[in-house]
Amino acid sequence: MQGKFELTQLPDAAGHFGPYGGVFVPETLMPAITELRLEYEAARHDPAFQAELQGLLRDYCGRPTPLYFAERWTEKLGGPRIYFKREDLLHTGAHKINNAVGQILLAKRMGKKRIIAETGAGQHGVATATVAARFGCECVIYMGKVDMERQALNVARMQFLGAEVIPVTAGQATLKEAINEAMRDWVTNVRTTHYLLGTAYGPHPYPMMVRDFHRVIGEEARRQILEIEQRLPAALVACVGGGSNAIGLFYAFLRDPGVRMIGVEAGGRGIRPGDHAARFQGGRLGVLQGTKTYLLANEDGQIELTHSVSAGLDYAAVGPEHSYLRDAGRVEYAFATDDEVLATFHDLARTEGILPALESTHALALVRARAKEWTNDQVVIVNLSGRGDKDVHQIAEHGRSHDLL
Ligand SMILES: *Cc1c(COP(=O)(O)O)cnc(C)c1O
């Protein structure tokens, strides 16, 4: 594929992935953004920083995570040999901690002792509260009121960890509004405060930096599959909210033309305005919360309402690198609906003894629906980005045996 080589050299110095990305922030934030960019540049080449990061990833977070052969599910679906990258086994229960430990070390280097973050499903809030406690920082988490209700367990965890969780009631009271509040706080408290953004989104350098902190997922998976199967996978599949777990898995394989990559967005109740969060299904180019990318908006540019059974995928825009990879034809983007996701959750629970996060279950649902597209000797790796403990109340509300097919 033409342009394949440059894929791994992006973004450019101004944070552009082709026509996407960049820095769209109020002037008051520019000094903080610049400070962060320079600090990250220095840190990534600093052996002491890297050593501390690697130590935390290993001993505090639990890396490397296993690459697990899902033998019974493979047999049941009758398609490819399916492996799970077990990010659900990490400390705090999802991939989010990879980025949180990286950014808390940067905050320490910058002398910032107050940490703020937004959270949707609460997983990023928990990861942030965790590293803030570990490094003795004050921590404030902004969370939509609707999300606080559907993710009560994670709210309690954040509070136990010493974080203040501030409910956001504006608009849809979900992730987008929580990000607005976090940005507002940052503008006000920028000298003392680091904004620990939770996905591969926002103004440069966040999309690049968050990607880099998650690249370890794909680097490990590539090594592991070569060791187990002596070959590369036919495909990688990951769910896409902002896009951090997906780019984390994909990145190390971008130069392998034989490896197909599929990002799975939230199809919600179906692809109609207001009923889903699949930005590549009817989305358009726009600017939201610091970056230029695909987003769900009407013809006047007003952001559309979104819906997903999974709070972590319920966001109107997608990280700019994914917009680029889609245009370049390197990654395919599909979606799974709420119903497919719930059915897949119960299926996996009973076949493999794993309760996956509803976000991750979108990736599993795609493989379940399309298993026959692969032959029995091909290998597919699914990113199991998190565990489903946080989702059990919500799933139970939909019925305990939604679909036992
Ligand atoms: C937050 C979250 C996601 C979605 O975020 P990305 O940045 O797209 O990875 C996916 N899975 C889990 C388990 C999450 O907690």
Ligand 1 atom closest to Cα of residue 200? 7
Ligand 1 atom closest to Cα of residue 93? 13
Q: How close is the Cα of 207 to the center of ligand 1, in Å?
A: 14
CA distance 6 to 91: 34
Ligand 1 pocket test target in 92, 313, 348, 362 with most atoms within 8 Å of CB: 313
Q: How close is the Cα of 242 to the center of ligand 1, in Å?
A: 7
Ligand 1 atom closest to Cα of residue 199? 7
What confidence tier does 121 reach under pLDDT thresholds 50, 70, 90? confident
Question: Mean of the per-residue pLDDT values for the chain?
Answer: 95
Query: Taking residues 110-129, what's their average pLDDT?
Result: 96
Is the pLDDT at 281 greater than 80? The verdict is: yes
Q: What percent of the chain has pLDDT above 70? A: 97
Q: How close is the Cα of 96 to the center of ligand 1, in Å?
A: 7
3-state secondary structure 290-332: CEEEEECECCCCCECCCCCCCHHHCCCECCHHHHHHHHCCCCE
DSSP-assigned letter for residue 358? H
Number of CB atoms found within 10 A of residue 264's CB? 29
Nearest alpha carbon to residue 147 among 332, 337, 340, 391: 391
Nearest alpha carbon to residue 1 among 293, 238, 261: 261
Nearest alpha carbon to residue 123 among 276, 20, 30, 242: 242
Higher pLDDT pick, 30 / 393: 30
Q: How close is the Cα of 314 to the center of ligand 1, in Å?
A: 10
Is the pLDDT at 128 greater than 70? The verdict is: yes
Q: Write down the pLDDT at residue 161.
A: 98
**Angle formed by the axes of helices 96-109 and 123-134, to 10°?**
40
| pLDDT tens string 335-391 | 999 999 999 999 999 999 999 999 999 999 999 999 999 999 999 999 999 999 999
Residues with CB under 6 A from ligand 1: 94, 96, 121, 123-124, 199, 239-246, 312-313, 357, 359-360, 385-386
Q: Write down the pLDDT at residue 243.
A: 98
Q: How close is the Cα of 238 to the center of ligand 1, in Å?
A: 10
Is the pLDDT at 2 greater than 80? The verdict is: no
Higher pLDDT pick, 23 / 282: 23
**pTM, to two decimals:** 0.96
What confidence tier does 6 reach under pLDDT thresholds 50, 70, 90? low
Q: Write down the pLDDT at residue 160.
A: 98
Q: Lowest-confidence range among 57-71, 73-87, 122-136, 164-178?
A: 164-178
Is the pLDDT at 32 greater than 80? The verdict is: yes
What confidence tier does 398 reach under pLDDT thresholds 50, 70, 90? confident
Do 156 and 231 meet the contact criterion of CB atoms below 8 Å apart? Answer: no
CA distance 397 to 88: 23
Nearest alpha carbon, ligand 1 atom 7: 244
Is the pLDDT at 4 greater than 70? The verdict is: no
Ligand 1 atom closest to Cα of residue 240? 8
What confidence tier does 174 reach under pLDDT thresholds 50, 70, 90? confident
Q: Write down the pLDDT at residue 1.
A: 42
């004050």: which residue's tokens?
138
What are the residue numbers of the active site?
96, 118, 385
Is the pLDDT at 311 greater than 50? The verdict is: yes
Nearest alpha carbon, ligand 1 atom 3: 312
Q: Write down the pLDDT at residue 399.
A: 73
93 CB contacts (<8 Å, ≥6 apart)? 123, 126, 357, 386, 387, 389, 390
| pLDDT tens string 231-263 | 999 999 999 999 999 999 999 999 999 999 999
